[in-house]
Amino acid sequence: MKFDGTDFYAALIHELKNNLGVLSMTLERIPLLGEAEHDASVDSARLLCQNVVDRLHQALLIYKAANQPIHPVLDAYSPHDLVQEIAASARALAHGRLHVETAIAADTPVLWFFDRDLVEMALVNAIHNALAHARSTIRIEAEMEADCLALRVRDDSPGYPEHILESVADGRPYAATGTGLGLQFARLIAQSHDNRGRSGELRLGNDPGAVFSLLLP
């Protein structure tokens, strides 16, 4: 049998993800005992595990998309369902530690065109940030803004540090670690969505907590 590097790589990733999946589900089954120290450790182990899972998704996408632009696969999806889905994931991750709210503005259309997996990946990233920094509440919102669907993740943290806000504003690359990498990725995802000459955008702001907004044309 001849050795095929790509197949081997794919098989390895497959197995890794299986293991990680089982690990993540195992962690989900550890009961909380009401003891601060135990519960906090379990909580952070779960979060960290889910974080690794989400980073692995990103890593794979970057690996595949190396040297070529991201091609979103557009279809019609319900922004309402998307917000509820993201909120459900956020609640599962928060495990009651934080309050997760949703707010869908009346003008949010029943259907919008986007690549659900990419958009979800970007929003889940923002959820991870919010989980790490929020004091008590995370809010996931949808509304229309300048003919774009705006999807937001809002928290009551002290807000994004100045250097991150600046680098997003001038579109400079971030330091390729942690939050920075995730945000850069979210920006690429937003920009890959275009419609009639208009590109999507990532906007970060403080109001007063961190506000992460994806604008999809």
Partner 1 sequence: MSQPPAPDSDTFIDYGALRALVVDDSPGMRNALRLTLSNFGITKIQMVANAAEAIFQIKNRSYDFILCDFNLGVGRDGQQLLEELRHGNLIALETVFMMVTAESYYEKVVATAELAPDDYMIKPFSAELLCSRLTGILLRKRAFRDVYWHFQAQDLEASIAACDALIHNKPKYAVDALRFKGELLVALGRFEEAEALYQQVVSMRAIPWARLGLARSLHLQKKNEEAEEELRDVLERAPEMVAAYDLLSDVCLEKKDVAAAQEALEKGVAISAKTVRRQQKLGEVAYGNGDLDTARTAFDNVLEKGRHSIFVTPADFGNLCRVQLEQGDLEAVADTLKKNKSTLQANPEGQLVMAVTQSLAHTRTGNLSEAAKALDAVASLRADGTRGDAQLMLDLAGACMANGRNEEADAVVAEVARNAHDSEALLAKAKRLYDEAGRTDAGASVLASATGDVRKLNNEGVVLAQRGDYKTAVEKLLTACNEAPYNPRILMNAVWVILKYIDQVGMNETMIETARTQLREAERQAPGHPRLAGLRLQMKDVETRFGIQRKAVR
User: Rounded to whole angstroms, how far apart are CA atoms 190 and 28?
Assistant: 31
Instruction: Rank residues 72 and 209 by Cβ distance to partner 1 and give the closer one.
Output: 72
87: tokens are 């909120």
Instruction: Tell me which H or E stretch contains 113.
Output: strand 112-114
Mark residues 75-94: x for contact with partner 1 by CB under 8 A, - for none.
Answer: xx-x--x--xx--xx-xx--
Instruction: Rank residues 137 and 195 by Cβ distance to partner 1 and give the closer one.
Output: 195
| CB distance 143 to 196 below 8 Å | no
Instruction: Tell me which H or E stretch contains 167.
Output: helix 162-170
Least distance from C-beta 159 to partner 1, angstroms?
28
Instruction: Rank residues 91 and 203 by Cβ distance to partner 1 and give the closer one.
Output: 91
Instruction: Tell me which H or E stretch contains 168.
Output: helix 162-170
User: Rounded to whole angstroms, how far apart are CA atoms 28 and 210?
Assistant: 28
Tokens 């309402």 found at: 80
Q: Which stretch binds partner 1 (CB under 8 A): 7-15, 126-134, 175-183, 203-211?
A: 7-15
Mark residues 56-75: x for contact with partner 1 by CB under 8 A, - for none.
Answer: -x--xx--x------x-xxx
Which letter does DSSP use for residue 171 in this model?
T
Q: Beta 148-155 vs 210-216: how paired, if at all?
A: antiparallel
Binder of partner 1 out of 21, 161, 173, 208 (CB under 8 A): 21
Instruction: Rank residues 95 and 165 by Cβ distance to partner 1 and give the closer one.
Output: 95
Contacts of partner 1 in 110-149 (CB under 8 A): 110-111, 113, 117
Tokens 């997760």 found at: 100
Least distance from C-beta 65 to partner 1, angstroms?
9
Least distance from C-beta 107 to partner 1, angstroms?
14
Going 170 to 116 to 114 to 13, the CA torsion angle's sign is positive
| CB distance 105 to 139 below 8 Å | no
Number of residues lying near partner 1 (CB under 8 A): 37
Binding region for partner 1 (CB under 8 A)? 10, 13-14, 17-18, 20-22, 24-26, 28-29, 50, 53, 57, 60-61, 64, 71, 73-76, 78, 81, 84-85, 88-89, 91-92, 110-111, 113, 117, 195
